[in-house]
Amino acid sequence: MIELRHLRKEYENATPLKDVNTVINDGDVISIIGPSGTGKSTLIRCINMLERPTGGQVIFDGEDITEPGYDLTKARQRMGMVFQSFNLFGHLTVIENLMQPQMDILKKSKSEAYETGVRLLKRVGMSGREFQYPDMLSGGQKQRVAIARTLAMDPDVILLDEPTSALDPTMVGEVQAVIKDLAKSGKTMMIVTHEMKFARAICNRVFYMDQGGIYEDGTPEQIFDDPKKELTRRFIMHLRVLELNVDGPDFDFIGAGTEIDRYCMQNTIPSRIQYRIRLAFEELMQQMLQPVLAETPVRVTVEYSEDEETAVMNATYGGERFDPAEGENSLSYQVLKKSVEELTYSYDPEGGEAEASDADTGSSNKFTNTVKVLIRE
Amino acid sequence: MTYLKRITAGNAILLIAMSLILLCLLAGCSLGSKQITSLEQLNDPEIKIGVGTGTGTDDVVVKEFPKAEIMYFRDETEAYGAVSQGKIDAIVFEKATMQSAVRNGLTGVRIMEETIGEDKKAGIAISPKTKIPDLEGKVNEFMSEAEADGTLKEMRERWLIDNNETMPEIDVPENSEIHLTVATVGIIFPYSYYKGTELTGFEIELARRLAAWMGASLEFKIYDYDGIVAAAQSGEVDCIAANLYATPERQEVLAFSQPTNIAENGIMVRDTGISLANYSNKLKSSFEKTFIRESRWKLFLRGIGTTLLITILSILFGTLLGFGVFMTCRNGNRAANRITSFFTWLIDGMPVVVLLMIFYYVIFGQLSVSGTAVSVVAFTLIFASAVISMLRSSVSSVDRGQTEAAYALGYSDRKTFFRVILPQALPLFMPAYKGQITALIKATAVVGYVAVQDLTKMGDIIRSRTYEAFFPLIAVAVIYFILAAILTRIVSRIELKIYSRQRTREQVLTDIGLSDEG
């Protein structure tokens, strides 16, 4: 069992882990997903102390391994790691890569180490390559040997840091097959990966990492099918998001138009959808919600789903209940309603607090009104 | 195939270049210059006159030939060569010495009849730091006695005029409470020179007589004229017996005995009348003079021994020291790193010869440590400094991932270094290391400055006897090449033993009886 308590990692100009608390149970197979730069690799590298955390504790089977003076070699022997760049020992043959650590660290005899090595190479499908040097192998083969080397130490926990990211797409499959097989062995595993299907297939638990920590933690069904939190949902659905804060009648609408164009360009959004996004924004903000703008700011988010090729625009605002359908500018409403798939209004007296992502605006407004526009090509 | 051809083409060009250089050397690259017959001709701005550094004859030249340009030479042999090849027009130096050189086979030069300037007085110079009480008084007393009973006069006639090279039997005590260390040069005939492997000459006999008279045991140390005064000043030796002129500058720092020899200043000029003799005869006789006569090859052997001793010890100690320091600094000990950086900066930033002299005259100046030991210390530091920087760069070029992988498997920091990092750094380290060995063996050529008779110094000594540059220099060069090649070969052998890059199945599986494996 691994317990992380208030784990924090700071670099000079970034803090990937702010305060991570979780418990990893024996036998858990955890996929760690999330956008790049959110500390996924940092997290598992802190667990075996390849990165020394700035603060907090890592408790491994009851022992605090972050304590100064703790003999890390003991803990690391029981936590194998598979690296993105394989890191096979270049001066040793494949079999020696498996044998040497067993002999040096586990003090196994040479013949014992050899037997284990041969058995594990067979398991990862690398029999017959024993006496080759790593630089004669392909990336996928190297990674399979690296996995075998990790297994040779018979660890309780295996940490895999983007094991297929450095591979040619044709080789990803062979390595994933080996890892899938491994996941059935009952060992505790943590795997950082960008391959969503693969992540889902092997694990019993998912960490979605964002905002300096484990943003959402759940079973694969929970995370992939029904994410509870906004950023998780955006990530899982491959949503491309644009946020605009229209803070009054003097808002720079021309600038916002340019920004929408740039956003569409960057995400290769089809031009017809782009046109409708602009239309919706103009009709909503410059016509229908004009009376609202005088009173309260309106927050606009545009989400584009690559998978479904649809865009959703949400305009939320506080203040009194105000349905644009009942507003004075019914012509605009009709125009918009016709050109988009759906145009709905909802009122929630509780309102949504400002999302964490725009907490920096400092607004404590309750966003009670929501206009939702669904755009399809 | 093309690769092979390119190499042979490259070799051919190299060979042609080398033979051109050799031909040039043999011919002496003679350039036409006019014959000098009168003193007036020498007082001309076109004229270059050579003098020995610190011999004081430059004063004479300034006075007699104010218009001429003065060129300084480290020793007379070099100046002789320069005159005979026409690089300079004349040498002003002790007439008797120059005459001896001509008598002993120096060709292409002529001694003029005239003597110029005031006669020079040579004496035994006494170190102010000698541990022998009242050495100056003793030397003067001995000199007075020797002058009075005619010994000195007889010696002068025998050595300086007759060039009779027989050294009489003098009973110098082997072990005595008084130990006299005498600095001399070994390259100036007939005062202090090597006959075969024996140090001999007028000054040597005088020093032996002095030691016998004092009841002291005797030791000679060989210096260049450049360094001999400094050696006496710093107390490395008790006195100097090297036909050293008592110039005013020297008298300021050293006490001189009454004159051992009063020398007239003569002039040596080039004799253009002599044509170059046929090459093969010249070569044969040069070879004979350089290697065979007086068993001079033994001098080369001795020099090789000394050079190898210094080089090999410096390599061993330097490698150990460098490795030790590197290991101390590796874990980021800030103080150790600072100190190391400072010392490597200091050592790398200084010319080797300066570093060596600082060690010899300043740091070990007061202690009686042999020049060889000091050289080993200095070159150990130089080599260690190189080893540290080579280790740093080769270790840092091993991918960081290798360290991480080893850590993740449970290797300790130390084990990671020795089992994973070092074996991968070595293939990068070794070529540089071998290059450094070649550099080191060449760099040791300066140890002559601190009274060590290494290969280069032996070449100088032989040149001072044969009055020829060609064979001794080429021999020394060739021997350096061979020594460097042998040393790097040995290192390569060791390298192969400790680290063979491509191991076969059998090598990997030694000690496992796996006869049944397919």
User: Residue B187: which residues within 8 A CB-CB, separation 6 or more?
Assistant: B75, B77, B193, B460, B461, B463, B464
Cα–Cα distance for residue pair A334/A81, rounded to 1 Å: 60
Share of chain B above pLDDT 90, in %: 40
For residue B104, the model assigns a pLDDT of 80
A366 contacts: CB under 8 Å, gap ≥ 6: A318, A350, A351, A352, A353
Total length of chain A = 377
Q: Looking at the complex, does the CB of residue B422 fall below 8 Å from at least one CB of chain A?
A: no
Backbone angles phi, psi at B93, to 5 degrees: -160, 180
Q: Give the pLDDT confidence score for residue B161 in this predicted structure.
A: 84
Answer yes or no: is pLDDT of A358 > 50.
Answer: no
pLDDT at B47 over 80: yes
- Largest Cα span, chain A: 88
* CA–CA separation, B252 and B338 (whole Å): 43
In sequence order, what DSSP letters do the residues of B35-81 get, joined into one string? Answer: PP-SHHHHSSTT-EEEEETTSSHHHHHHHH-TTSEEEEESSHHHHHH
- On the question of pLDDT at B465 being above 90, the answer is no
pLDDT of residue A101: 95
Tokens of A56: 């907090």
**Cα separations (Å) of A297 from A251, A282, A316, B340?**
10, 16, 9, 64
Q: How far is the C-alpha of B189 from the C-alpha of B160, rounded, in Å?
A: 9
- pLDDT at B316 > cutoff 80: yes
In sign, the C-alpha dihedral spanning B153, B158, B160, B161 is positive
pLDDT at residue number B504: 73
> Is the bond preceding residue B190 a cis peptide, omega within 30 degrees?
yes
Q: Cβ distance B321 to B386 under 8 Å?
A: no
B500 closest CA partner among B514, B510, B485: B510
Backbone angles phi, psi at B190, to 5 degrees: -100, 25
Closest approach of chain B CAs to the CA of A230, in angstroms?
36
Query: CB contact, 8 Å: B415 with chain A?
Result: yes
Q: Does B423 contact A at CB distance below 8 Å?
A: yes
Decide if A77 and B415 are in contact by the 8 Å CB cutoff. no
Cα separation of A144 and A121, whole Å? 8
Mutate one of A47, A49, A52, A87 to test the B interface: name it (highest B CB count within 10 A): A87
Dist. CA B57–CA B405, nearest whole Å = 73
Residues with Cβ within 8 Å of B479's Cβ and at least 6 positions away in sequence, in order, are B300, B304, B455
The tokens for B4 are 């092979």
Rounded Cα–Cα distance for residues B493 and B430 (Å): 12
Closest CA to B237 of B188, B184, B287, B187: B184
Left, alpha or beta for B16 (phi > 0: left; psi -120 to 50: alpha)?
A: alpha
User: Cβ distance B448 to B473 under 8 Å?
Assistant: no
Domains B120-263 and B297-511 share a fold: no
More confident: B197 or A30: A30
**Nearest of A116, A173, A197, A104 to residue B423 by alpha carbon:** A104
> CATH classification of B120-263 is 3.40.50.2300, yes or no?
no
In chain A, residues with a C-beta closer than 8 Å to the C-beta of B416 are none
Collapsing DSSP to helix, strand or coil, A261 comes out as helix
> Which residues from chain B sit within 8 angstroms of residue A90, using beta carbons?
402, 424
Tokens of B73: 């030479």
Q: Is the pLDDT of residue A176 over 90?
A: yes
User: How far are the Cα atoms of A364, B128, B197, B256 from residue B231, in angstroms, in the given order?
Assistant: 88, 11, 23, 15
- On the 0-12 / 13-18 / 19+ scale of CB atoms within 10 A, B11 is exposed
Give the pLDDT score at B33.
54
Task: Please indicate whether residue B280 or residue B106 has the higher confidence score (pLDDT).
Answer: B106
Averaged confidence pLDDT in chain B: 86
Taking each helix axis from N to C end, the angle separating B470-498 and B279-287, rounded to the nearest 10 degrees, works out to 60
Residue B234 has what pLDDT? 86
Most confident of A165-169, A218-222, B43-47, B470-474: A218-222
| pLDDT band with cut points at 50, 70 and 90 for residue A361 | very low
A82-107: pLDDT as tens digits:
999 999 999 999 999 999 999 999 99
Q: Which stretches does DSSP call E strand in B397-458?
A: none
> Mutating which of A52, A79, A91, A100 best tests the B interface, going by the most B Cβ atoms within 10 A?
A91
Q: Which fold has domain B297-511?
A: MetI-like fold (1.10.3720)
Nearest to B419 among A104, A150, A153 (CB): A104
The pLDDT tens digits of the residues spanning A286-324 come to 888 888 888 888 999 999 988 788 899 999 988 888 888
What is the structure's pLDDT at B94?
A: 87
Residue B514 has pLDDT above 70, yes or no: no
Q: Report the C-alpha gap between A117 and A108 in whole angstroms.
A: 12
Chain A from 64 to 123: CB within 8 A of any B CB: 72-74, 76-77, 79-81, 83, 85-91, 93, 95-96, 100-101, 104-105, 110-111, 114
Interface membership of A364 toward B (CB under 8 Å): no
CA distances from B490 to B81, B384, B483, B496 (A): 39, 19, 11, 10
CA–CA gap between residue A333 and residue B13 (Å, rounded)? 90
Three-state DSSP class for residue A206: strand
Test B407 with A83 for CB contact under 8 angstroms: no
Best-predicted range by mean pLDDT (A324-328, B157-161, B291-295) = B157-161
Contact A76, A27 (CB under 8 A): no
Looking at residue B291, what is its pLDDT? Answer: 85
Q: Tell me which DSSP letter residue A326 carries.
A: G
Report pLDDT digits (tens) over B220-233. Answer: 999 888 788 888 98
What phi and psi, each to the nearest 5 degrees, are found at residue B129?
-105, 10
Give the rounded percent of residues in chain B with a pLDDT score beyond 70.
Answer: 92
Whole-angstrom Cα distance, residue B489 to residue B510?
27
Q: Is B498 on the interface with A (CB under 8 A)?
A: no
Check CB contact of A60 with chain B, cutoff 8 Å: no
Side-chain half-sphere of A191: how many Cα atoms within 13 Å? 29
Q: Are B226 and B109 in contact (CB under 8 A)?
A: no
Q: Is residue A42 within 8 Å of residue A17, measured between CB atoms?
A: yes
* Other beta carbons less than 10 A from residue B478's beta carbon: 10
pLDDT at residue B29 tops 50: no
Contact residues for B468 (Cβ-Cβ < 8 A; gap 6+): B81, B286, B289, B290
B104 touches chain A (CB under 8 A): no
- Note whether B225 and B52 are within 8 A (CB): yes
**Mean pLDDT, rounded, for B199-210:** 93
Reported as type and span, the H/E element at residue A10 is strand A2-11
- The two most distant CA atoms of chain B are separated, in Å, by 99
CA pair distance B250, A163, nearest whole angstrom: 79
Domain boundaries, chain B: 120-263, 297-511
Predicted TM-score (pTM) of the model is 0.76
Interface check B428 vs A, CB under 8 A = no
Tell me: pLDDT of B269 over 80: yes
Please name the member of B405, B409, B499 whose beta carbon is closest to the beta carbon of A105. Answer: B409
Token pair listed for B351: 């010319």
CB proximity list for A338: less than 8 A, separation 6 or greater? none
Contacts of A85 in chain B (CB under 8 A): 399, 401
CA pair distance B476, B482, nearest whole angstrom: 10
Q: Which of A247-261, B16-30, B352-366 has the lowest mean pLDDT?
A: B16-30
Partner residues linked to A235 by β-bridges = none
Whether residue B21 is predicted with pLDDT greater than 80 in this model: the reply is no
Determine phi and psi for B274, rounding to 5 degrees.
-85, 130
DSSP 3-state percent helix, strand, coil across chain A (nearest 5)? 40, 30, 35
State the smallest CA–CA distance between residue A35 and chain B in angstroms: 24
Of the candidates A77, A83, A101, the beta carbon closest to that of B404 is on A83
Residue with tokens 């590197």: B326
Q: Please give the pLDDT value at position B34.
A: 66
Find the range with the poorest average confidence among A294-308, B272-286, B476-490. B272-286
Amino acid at B147: E
Q: State the pLDDT at residue A50.
A: 94
Q: DSSP letter at B257?
A: -
Confidence of residue B365 (pLDDT cuts 50, 70, 90): confident
Q: For position B455, what pLDDT does the model report? A: 92
What's the pLDDT band for A121 if we cut at 50, 70, 90?
very high
